[in-house]
Structure 1
Amino acid sequence: MKLHPIWNDYPQLQPELTQTIKLMENSIQLKNKPVKKALLEMIGAGGKLLRPAYQLLFSQFGPEQDRQKSVALAAAIEMLHTATLIHDDIVDDASLRRNLPTISAKFDNNTAVYAGDYLFVACFKLMSGYTSSLRSLQNNALSMEKILSGELGQMEDHYNLSMTVDEYLANISGKTAELFALSCSVGAFENGTTQLFAKNVSDIGHHIGMAFQIIDDILDYTQPKTEIGKPVLKDVRQGIYTLPLIYALQTKRESLVPFLEKKERMSETDIQEIYRLVNDLGGVTKAQQLANTYTQKALKKIDKLPSNSANTRASLQQLTKTLLTRTN
């Protein structure tokens, strides 16, 4: 399996990321061969592996350097992430993920539910086999609860034309930022750092995750379908209103509401007009500014990490800055 090009600049991470993918593949022991094949294809489809990478980087700050454990936990976290993607695709009725047919589109929703559930089981099997205490398992379970709360919050806000920035931020705090926070903190804690250090690292992960999701939502309004691997603005048709649109609504509500009130009946012309208006009304620019604010918060905390791990700290700074300017 070929790693995503983002890792060309991080040769020190490439061996462990490759091991992470191999361990994920080896953990898929389903008897159902078509579903097993679909899961393996999804794992090998070129995901960025950002959460495992942050886990591996922060694990290097601990005095206990058990790299086998770190790789296993990285694999568990990525399987957890992949499981949530499969279930998201069912809820969103998505047909594409990473430019490949989703499991729900390729088979059916029932099969996709079981495939996602299987990855949850595989994740917890790895976690239970390698964590040094129940704390990491407890944190994992609490993170799952927060992720679900974020998803439920987003569902409750479908077609909510009065949705606020704070409500959006609360949803993505659970939906996306929580798993980044877990990835960073479990890497540090399981390699012997203090709980206080792990909490600080969790905050860094949270800021990174918030910036990541905001940028992800910006890409819907700046990149074509072929670049991001999913239908552009499908979220809008489904009533999922993200930060660029929320900001644009605050600026000139009357221009956008007539299109949004059509809901699923929006035409391609309507979608293109929403795309144009969100950009012209400054929604994208304001969202980029907030993503930069979260990134700067993360970078300031990274700057204060121990200087005896200067190379790791430099990699974290570079990677975090890169995420702010990504185009896919």
Structure 2
Amino acid sequence: MELHPIWNDYPQLQPELTQTLELMEKSIQLKNEPVKKALLEMIGAGGKLLRPAYQLLFSQFGPEKDRQKAIALAAAIEMLHTATLIHDDIVDDASLRRNLPTIRAEFDNNTAVYAGDYLFVTCFKLMSDYTGSLRSLQKNAVSMEKILSGELGQMEDHYNLAITVDEYLANISGKTAELFALSCSAGAFESGTSQLFAKNVSDIGHNIGMAFQIVDDILDYTQPRAEIGKPVLKDVRQGIYTLPLIYALQTEVKQLTPLLEKKELMTEDDTQKVYQLVNELDGVNKAQQLANRYTKKALKRIDNLPNNPENTKIILQQLTQTLLTRTN
């Protein structure tokens, strides 16, 4: 399994990220060989492994230096993330993920549900084997609840032309930011840092996750399909209105409403018109400004972290800056 090219600039992370992938592969013991193969292909399909990377980095701040434990928890977190992606693909009726057929498209929705559930179970097995206390398991369960709440909030807002910025932010706070927060705080806490330090680190992860999702949504309005690995503006056809569009709707409803009211019947010309209007109405620029604010919050808190022999703070600064200012 090859790592994503993003890690070419961080050779010190490559060995443990590779071991994280290997442990995930080893942990999948399904008897159903076709589904097992599909899960392994999804894991090895070039995901960025951002959440395990942050977990591994923050695990270097504590006095406990059990790297096998850190790798196992990183694998558990990526298992959790992958499970949510599989279930997202069912809800979104998605046919592609990381430029490969989704499990629901290759098999069916029922199989995809069971595959996602299997990864949830595998995640908790790894967590229970390696966590030092019930607190991390409890935090994991609370995080899953928040992730689900964010997903449900987004589902409830399908085709909601009146969705507000605050409602969008509440949805992505659970849907995306919570897992970044868990990754960072679990890494810190399980390495023996104080609860106060872990809480501060959780806030860093939250800001990273918020900025990451906003930037990801901006890319739908700035990048072609080939660059982002999914159909551009498919979210709009499915009634998922993200921040650039929400800002544009606040500026000009009359031009956008007739297009959006077509829902699934929107044509390619319709989506391209939405794409054009969102840019013309400054939706992308406004969304970028908010992403920049979350990025600055994260970087400011990272700058206040203590130095350590592994130069972790410097790596965190570089990685976060690169990740949250990306244009593709």
Quickly name the TM-score band, shorter chain normalised.
Answer: over 0.9
SS for the counterpart of 1:308 is coil
Q: Measure, in 1, the Cα distance between the counterparts of 2:126 and 2:196.
A: 25
> Deviation of residue 133 (structure 1)?
0.1
Cα deviation code 1:89-136 (max 9, x no counterpart): 000000000000000000000000000000000000000000000000
Q: Which amino acid aligns with 2:126?
A: L
Cα distance between partner residues in 2 of 1:42 and 1:120: 15
Give the deviation of 1:309 after TM superposition: 5.0
1:161 is paired with a residue of what secondary structure?
Answer: coil
Separation in 2, partners of 1:95, 1:231: 10
Matched, 1:156 2:156: yes
- Partners of 2:141 and 2:16 in 1: how far apart? 25
Q: Is the Cα–Cα contact under 8 Å of residues 60 and 310 in structure 2 kept in the other structure?
A: no
Separation in 2 of the partners of 1:91 and 1:195? 36
Q: How does 1:130-279 map to 2 (within 5 A)?
A: 130-279=130-279
CA–CA separation in structure 1 for the residues paired with 2:43 and 2:308: 35
How far off its partner does 1:265 sit? Answer: 1.1
Runs of 4+ aligned structure 1 residues displaced above 6 Å come to none
For the Cα contact (< 8 Å) 2:208–2:324, is it kept in 1?
A: no
Alignment partner of 2:311: what SS?
A: helix
**1: distance between equivalents of 2:271 and 2:215?**
20
In 1, the alpha carbon distance for the partners of 2:318 and 2:289 equals 19
Residue aligning to 1:119 = 119
Q: Is the 8 A contact 1:62 1:188 kept in 2?
A: yes
Aligned residue type for 1:229: G
Shift of 1:301: 0.3
SS state of the match for residue 308, structure 2?
helix
1:16-55 CA distance string (max 9 Å, x none): 0000000000000000000000000000000000000000
- Deviation per CA, 1:168-223: give whole Å up to 9, x if none: 00000000000000000000000000000000000000000000000110111111
Q: For the residues of structure 2 that align with 1:277 and 1:309, how far apart are their CA atoms?
A: 50
Whole-angstrom distance in 2 between the partners of 1:320 and 1:292: 12
What is the deviation of 1:255? 1.2
1:82 lines up with 2:82 in the alignment:
yes
**Structure 1 residues 264-323: Cα deviation after superposition (integer angstroms, max 9, x where no partner):** 111111000000000111101111111110000000000100123571001000011111
Deviates most, 74-83 or 260-269:
260-269
The normalised TM-score by structure 2 is 0.99
In the alignment, the residues of structure 2 paired with residue 94 and residue 21 of structure 1 have an alpha-carbon distance, to the nearest angstrom, of: 24
Paired residue for 1:27?
Answer: 27
Show structure 1 runs of 5+ residues with no match: none
Matched AA of 1:175? K
Please give the alpha-carbon distance, in whole angstroms, between the structure 1 residues aligned to 2:88 and 2:228: 16
Q: Matched residues in 2 for 1:268 and 1:190: separation?
A: 49
CA distance in 2, matches of 1:287, 1:320: 18
TM-score by length of 1: 0.99
The 8 Å contact of residues 60 and 312 in structure 1, kept in 2 or not, is answered as yes
Matches of 1:88 and 1:144, distance apart in 2:
14
Q: Which ranges in structure 2 are unaligned for 5 or more consecutive residues?
A: none
CA gap of 1:142–1:107, structure 2 versus 1, over 3 A, is: same
- 1:65, CA displacement in angstroms? 0.7
Deviation, 1:324, is 1.7
Q: Aligned partners of 1:319 and 1:81: how far apart in 2?
A: 19
The equivalent residue for 1:313 is: 313
Q: Do the aligned residues in 2 keep the contact of 1:61 with 1:309 (CA within 8 Å)?
A: no
**Alpha-carbon distance, 1:327 to partner:** 3.4
Q: Does 1:107 align with 2:107?
A: yes
For residue 291 of structure 1, what is the aligned residue in structure 2?
A: 291
Report the identity percentage: 84
3-state SS of 2:222 partner: coil
Number of equivalenced pairs: 328
For residues 158 and 141 of structure 1, what CA distance do their matches in structure 2 show? 26
Give, in whole Å, the separation in 2 of the partners of 1:157 and 1:53: 32
Query: Per the alignment, in what secondary structure is the counterpart of residue 307 of structure 1?
Result: coil
Change (3 A) 1:137 1:257: same
Q: Which residue of 2 aligns with 1:11?
A: 11
Describe the SS at the equivalent of 2:7: helix
Q: Superposition RMSD on alpha carbons, in Å?
A: 0.8
**2:127, 2:310 → 1: CA distance?**
29
One-letter identity of the residue aligned with 2:163: M
Give the CA deviation at 1:253: 1.3
